[in-house]
A = this chain, B = another copy of it.
Amino acid sequence: MLLNEARLDDLMARERLDAVIGTSPENVLYLGGYWAMSQWVRRGPQAYAVRLRQGYRAPIIVTNSALLDLVADQEIGGDIRRYSFFKTDVDSAATLSPADARQVELFTTQAYPSPVEALVSALKDHGVAAGRIGIDEIGITPQCMEQLIAALPQATFVRSFLLLEKVRAIKTPEEIARLRRAASISEQAIDAALAAARLDMTEIEMARVFHSRTTELDGVPVTGCIGFGERSAMSNVQPSTHRLQRGDVIRFDVGCRYRHYRSDISRIAVLGEPAEKMRRYHDALYKGVQRAYDILKPGLKVADLFDQVIETVRREGIPHYDRSHVGHGIGIEGYDPPNIAGNSSDVFEENMVVCVETPYYELGFAGLQVEDMILVTRNGAESLMARDGRLRILG
């Protein structure tokens, strides 16, 4: 299961929530296990996943009838409420597969006219219509939110996007396995791109190799900041027709999705002999991230990690180094808590997965960066990377 059920129960109890409703694609997937395609590829389509604090323990799913095939194929259990018309025919002579039989069964249920009517019926049937209801405010349209409030005048609604982020911060074993694989895919795709590097190659040509390798490994491309030379100093550099020259930095700040879980890693290479400043600065940034492995464990204050990483980079070679954060959690979302910043009041906990990063952008010179995905273990930290972030020198 993706959901950290014990942590959800705990945080719902603290906030005295009777129910919590996921509305953004990430939270519908997290709470319900349900990947509702249309909300991932368009703006507006509504799907919800509800969890109750007491009583019914399975998820309650609200979905368009056009997506019932995914409910069946993904073997989503629980209380499924569908809305809108959708036509699927059945070959009455055929022996149906279990998924098709389940889909037929789902089509025998009542179709509500709208997502909110389906949701309201579920909340009423499960006895929380007058309860305290957490709602992820990011995925529900304002129109639907108004309808929901009007339909349940006795309910109290509490915005809960941040609460769900907090739940998601501590990963379950299934989530860790997916994140590990996502990191590995992006790392292998960087290796493939660097293996293809050659003088006069364009950034776009290298990005093609990178993304194609990602897809061959069953990753879905998400971010591909790949820049050469001075362009690498643009923090979000998007591949262009700019061509690789000898002595250029090649910066990757890249990631994918693997079974809906994200990677976000960064590596630096140089074609040929790096300038002395590149070596020195990169070494400082590398040591900044390595410092995290020395001290990261449950109980460490997030702000302390921030301070130590910044201080290490300054001491090791970039005295003017300054950042608002040196990393963040990662999961279904690219940025889960904690945000590794100096003003954080969070503390690291076992089974957090975090990106620790030390980017440095100097216009006219280059962008350098190390970013590793790291699992917080019971007693320390474990890299999800196969290779460390040292500067790579291409022949």
- CB contacts (< 8 Å) of A142 on chain B: these are 137, 142, 145, 159
Which of B43, B69, B91, B218 meets A234, CB within 8 Å?
A: B69
Q: For window 126-165 of chain A, which residues contact chain B by CB distance below 8 Å?
A: 137-139, 141-143, 145, 159, 161
Q: Is A66 an interface residue (CB 8 A)?
A: yes
Per the bound structure, the CA–CA distance linking A350 and B333 in Å amounts to 40
Among candidates B92, B139, B363, residue contacting A96 with C-beta atoms closer than 8 Å = B363
Cβ distance A256 to chain B, nearest Cβ, rounded Å: 10
Contact residue among B86, B323, B363 (Cβ-Cβ distance under 8 Å from A103): B363
Expressed in whole angstroms, the Cα–Cα distance for A143 and B141 within the complex equals 13
CB distance from A104 to the nearest CB of B (A): 6
Instruction: Tell me which of A104, A204, A363 has the highest count of chain B C-beta atoms within 10 A of its own C-beta.
Output: A363
| Per-residue contact bits, chain A 347-373, to B (CB 8 Å; 1 contact, 0 not) | 000000000000011111100000000
Question: Is A377 positioned at the interface, with any CB of B under 8 Å from its CB?
Answer: no
Residue contacts A-B, CB under 8 angstroms, 28 given = A35-B238, A37-B236, A41-B222, A42-B333, A43-B333, A69-B236, A73-B234, A86-B235, A88-B233, A88-B362, A89-B361, A89-B362, A91-B364, A92-B364, A94-B230, A94-B363, A96-B363, A96-B364, A99-B234, A100-B230, A104-B363, A137-B142, A137-B143, A208-B216, A208-B218, A212-B215, A212-B216, A220-B221
Having A69-B237, A96-B363, A142-B142, one finds 19 other A-B pairs with CB under 8 Å, namely A37-B236, A44-B138, A66-B235, A69-B234, A69-B235, A72-B234, A73-B234, A87-B361, A88-B235, A89-B363, A92-B364, A94-B364, A95-B364, A100-B230, A100-B364, A208-B216, A214-B215, A215-B221, A221-B221
A224 to chain B: closest CB distance in Å? 9
**Is residue A324 contacting chain B, with contact meaning CB distance below 8 A?**
yes
By the criterion CB–CB under 8 Å, are B208 and A324 in contact? no
Q: Which residues of A contact B (CB under 8 A)?
A: 24, 26, 35, 37-38, 41-44, 66-67, 69-70, 72-73, 85-97, 99-100, 103-104, 137-139, 141-143, 145, 159, 161, 204, 208, 211-212, 214-216, 218, 220-223, 230-231, 233-238, 240, 320, 322-324, 333-335, 360-365
Q: In the bound complex, how far is the Cα of B204 from the Cα of A289, in angstroms? A: 36
Q: Is B41 within 8 A of A86, CB to CB?
A: no
CB atoms of B215 and A211 under 8 A apart? yes
Docked CA distance A233–B145 (Å): 34
Given contacts A324-B86, A334-B42, A215 and B208 within 8 Å (CB-CB) = yes
Q: Is the CB of B138 within 8 A of A141?
A: yes
CB distance from A73 to the nearest CB of B (A): 6
